[in-house]
Amino acid sequence: MFEDHRAFIHLGTNLGDKRKNLKTALEHLESFSGTICSFSSIYETAAWGKSNQPDFLNQAIELSTKLSPFELLYELQSIEQKMGRARIEKWGQRIIDLDILFYDDITIDYQQLTIPHPLIEQRRFVLEPLLEIAVDLIHPVHGSSIQALADSCSDQSQVLQLRDDR
């Protein structure tokens, strides 16, 4: 019997109908990757890393999955491709971006997959949605809770929680 694993996924989009993109990605995730246990509100933020592009909508989810980390990565990349994501430039515009933030309490450092996702502690647009669903989650490398990481985050970008009118 396969064991259920706990994964936290970050969703981001800044092209097209952004709310619809998030909803479609959530539907795909639940159909192919596992069960969504919790999800954050939707947050609007300016682009990070490459600022001359449209604002992003961001969301975090907790997923219960039987997939291995690499199988989950494959499924996330498959969903991105089905939704029309084109990987043209690093931190560029995208219809959808799905990143594994945490997977149980493991660490992985391979060229194609790093868990926990790098730079979580430097990205307010990742931390704010996580605070809503995993405030006490401990980062397995830093040994700090999401709350502690958010409290010490140097990124002062505005992260605006949107009204929930799905």
| Residue 85 designated active-site | yes
Tokens of 96: 């959808």
**Amino acid letter, residue 92:** G
Catalytic position from the list 4, 19, 99, 155? 99
Question: 94, 105, 109, 155: which is the annotated catalytic residue?
Answer: 94
Which of 85, 104, 105, 151 is catalytic? The answer is 85
55: annotated active-site residue: no
Q: Which helix (H) or strand (E) holds 63?
A: strand 56-65
Nearest 5°: the CA angle 92, 95, 99 is: 75
Distance CA 164, CA 158 (A): 18
Known catalytic residue at 105: no
Which of 4, 97, 124, 155 does the annotation list as catalytic? Answer: 97
Amino acid making up residue 14: N
Separation CA 23–CA 103 (nearest Å) = 22
Per-position b or e across 40-66, b if 16+ CB within 10 A of its CB: bebbbbebbeeeebeebbbbbbbbebe
Look at the block and give the residue holding tokens 């907790």. 62
Residues classed as catalytic: 85, 94, 97, 99
